[in-house]
Amino acid sequence: MSPSTHASTFVGFGFGPIQAGLFLAEAQRSQRFGRLVVAEIQSDLVCAVRRAGGRVGLNVASTDGVAAMHVGPIEMLDPAAPEDRRLLVEAVAEASELATAVPNVNCYAGPGPDSLHRVLADGFALKDRRNGPRAVVYAAENHNHAAEILRDAVASALPPTAREPALRRVRFLNTVIGKMSGTVTDADAIAPRGDLVEVTPGARRAIVVEAFNHILVSRAEFGDSDFQRGLSAFVEKDDLLPFEEAKLYGHNAVHALAGYLGALCGAARMADLPHVPGMIAFLRGAFIDESGAALIRKHAGLDPLFTEAGYAAYADDLIQRMVMPHLRDTVERVTRHSERKLGWNDRLIGTMRLAVGQGIQPWRFALGAAAAVWLATGAQPEAEEVAARLRSLWGAPSETNEQDAVLAYIHQGIRQLAAWLAAGQPPLDTLRPAVAHDTSDT
C-alpha cells in the first residue's frame, strides 16, 4: 500500500468478495488509511493471508477484460483467538471507518465473546475512554435496515451507563451496493492455466469483482462538517430507502428472475443468457414495465432515477453488467437460497407486492417465482403444493388477501411455464400476461 499522510485505520468484518473487492480496494485506492485490519472467523483463511504477507489478489472485471490487482498489507485477525480479539478491539478503538460484510444480519450477534457485536461494543467503549476518533460503520448486508439492526445489537452488548458515551462517536450507515462479485474455483480459469489470480498462493480460488463502484450510503450526521470519510467514492443520500428499494426490487429481483428462467433453459452461466431467445427483452420488460413503473409511481419527483428515462438507463446498464462474460457468474450461484429469495419481503415476492400495490400486473416476476418453486420441487408443482410451500415461508401475515393475490399470479405463472416448455421454449419476449388481474383492491 502506498504511504499515507493520514494515520487512519480501516477495520472490516468478514473477508469475502465485497469486503476485499470493494471496501479494502477502495480504502487502499483512497490512500487515506495507514492500516487495513480485517476480522475473519475462518482460521484457515486468516493463516493463508498471513502466509502471503497480508497481500491478497483480486480480479476486476469490465467489458474489456479482467485486470489483476493486489490489496495489502492486511492485518488478519481471528476474533476467536484471545490475543487477536484484543488486537481487534484496539483497532476498532482507533478506526475512523469500519465495514461489516458478513453473510446476513443474523450474523451480527452470537453467544460468545468473539461475536461481532461484542467486539464492536468493546472497541467503541475503549474509543470513548481514549477519546478516540469518530467513526462510521458501513453495514453492507443486503437488508434495508441493516445499520439500525447492527446499532441495536451493539447497544445491547454495552452496560446502560456506558451505552450513550460509547456510541456518541459512531454512526452506522446503510448501504446500497450494486457491485456484482463472486468467488471462482474453476481450476481452468485460475493461473497458470487461466487468466485469474488466486486470492493467496495455492488457494485454488479467485475473487472476481466488477469495476463498478458507484455505491450509495446514508449520510453520516455528526452535527458539524468536520468529519470527512476516507472512502470518498461512496455517495451519500439523505433518504437511502428508495434507492435500497430500487436495488432489491430492481437489481436483485431481475437478477433472480434471470437466474431462475436461465436454469429452466439449461443455461450454466449468466453470460449464456443473451443466447436464450427473447431473454434480454423479457428481462428489460420486467425491469422497466413492472419494477420500474411501480417504483416511479411510488417515488416520483425524488431523484432522476425515478423517471422513465432514468430508470431505463439504470435497467439497461444493469442487464448488460449481469451477463458480462468476464464476471464469470454462474446460474447456480444466482439461484442459491431460493427459500430466502421467495420470502414475503424479498426480491421476487416483494417486487410483486410492490407492483400490485401500485396497480401494475407483475406477471413476469410471477414467472420467476414460479420457476424458483418449479426448480425447488424438481417438476411441475401442483397448486396446493405451491400454496403450502410459499405460505410456510411467508408465515401468517395479516394480509391474507394480499397472499391470495400473489399466489394467483404464481399459479398462473406455473401454467404459463408449463405451456412454454411444452411448446419448445419459444422466444420469451413473445409471452404475454395470460389473465388480466384486478389489482385495484389489493
pLDDT tens-digit series, residues 252-266 = 999 999 999 999 999
Residue 439 lies in a domain: no
How far is the C-alpha of 215 from the C-alpha of 176, rounded, in Å?
6
Q: Are 168 and 279 found together in one domain?
A: no
Could you write out the DSSP letters of every residue in 273-294?
GGGSTTHHHHHHHIIIIIIIHH
Q: Which of 208, 238, 268 is the last residue of a domain?
A: 238
Q: How far apart are CA 406 and CA 356, in angstroms?
A: 8
Q: Is residue 436 part of a domain?
A: no
Q: For the segment 170-188, what is each residue's pLDDT rounded down to a tens digit?
A: 999 999 999 999 999 988 8
Question: Are 205 and 301 contained in the same domain?
Answer: no
Q: Using CA atoms, how far apart are residues 89 and 73, in angstroms rounded to an integer?
A: 19
- Neighbour count for residue 400 (Cβ, 10 Å): 10
The answer to whether residue 442 is domain-embedded is: no
How far is residue 408's CA from residue 344's CA, in Å, rounded to a whole number? 15
189 and 247 part of one domain:
no
Q: Cα(343)–Cα(392) distance, rounded to whole angstroms?
A: 10
pLDDT band at residue 3, thresholds of 50, 70 and 90?
very low
Distance between the two ends of the chain, CA-based, in angstroms?
55
Same domain, 214 and 278: no
pTM above 0.85, yes or no: yes
3-state secondary structure 343-372: CCCCHHHHHHHHHHHCCCCCHHHHHHHHHH
- What are 406's three cell numbers? 400473489
The verdict on residue 422 lying in a domain is: yes
Question: What CATH number is given to the structural domain containing 166?
Answer: 3.40.50.720
Q: How far is CA 78 from CA 90, 140, 201, in A?
A: 14, 20, 20
DSSP-assigned beta bridge partners for residue 135: 170
How much of the chain is in helix, strand and coil states, percent to nearest 5? Answer: 50, 15, 35
Closest CA to 133 of 30, 228, 221, 28: 228
Q: Order across the sheet with 135-139: list the strands.
A: 75-77, 33-39, 8-13, 95-100, 135-139, 170-176, 216-218, 235-237
User: What's the CATH code of the domain at 340?
Assistant: 1.10.1040.10
For residue 142, what pLDDT band results from cuts at 50, 70 and 90?
confident
Whether 76 maps to a domain, the answer reads yes
Do 159 and 66 share a structural domain? yes
Residue 17 CA to residue 189 CA, distance in Å, equals 17
What phi, psi does 330 have (nearest 5°)? -110, 150
Domain match, 289 and 405 both: yes
**Do 330 and 214 share a domain, yes or no?**
no
Evaluate if residue 77 carries a pLDDT over 60.
yes
**Same domain flag for 259 and 225:** no
Inter-residue contact 327 to 210 (CB < 8 Å): yes
Model confidence over 50-75: pLDDT tens digits?
999 999 999 999 999 999 999 999 99
Q: Quick one: 60 and 39 in the same domain? A: yes
Q: What is the pLDDT of residue 225?
A: 67
Considering 238, 254, 278, which residue would you say is the last residue of a domain?
238
Q: Does a structural domain hold residue 1?
A: no
Residue 398 pLDDT more than 60?
yes
- Write down the pLDDT at residue 440: 44
- pLDDT tens track for 9-64: 999 999 999 999 999 999 999 999 999 999 999 999 999 999 999 999 999 999 99
Look at residues 221, 238, 255 and tell me which one is the last residue of a structural domain. 238
* 225/346 same-domain check: no
Q: Are 181 and 210 in contact (CB under 8 A)?
A: yes
Domain assignment of residue 3, yes or no: no
| Number of structural domains found in the chain | 2
Range of the domain at 424: 242-430
Q: Is residue 346 part of a domain?
A: yes
224 and 250 co-located in one domain? no
What pLDDT, in 10s, does the model give residues 235-253?
A: 999 999 999 999 999 999 9
Q: Are residues 174 and 264 in the same domain?
A: no
Return the H-helix or E-strand segment holding 319: helix 308-322
Q: Strand pairing partners for 176?
A: 216
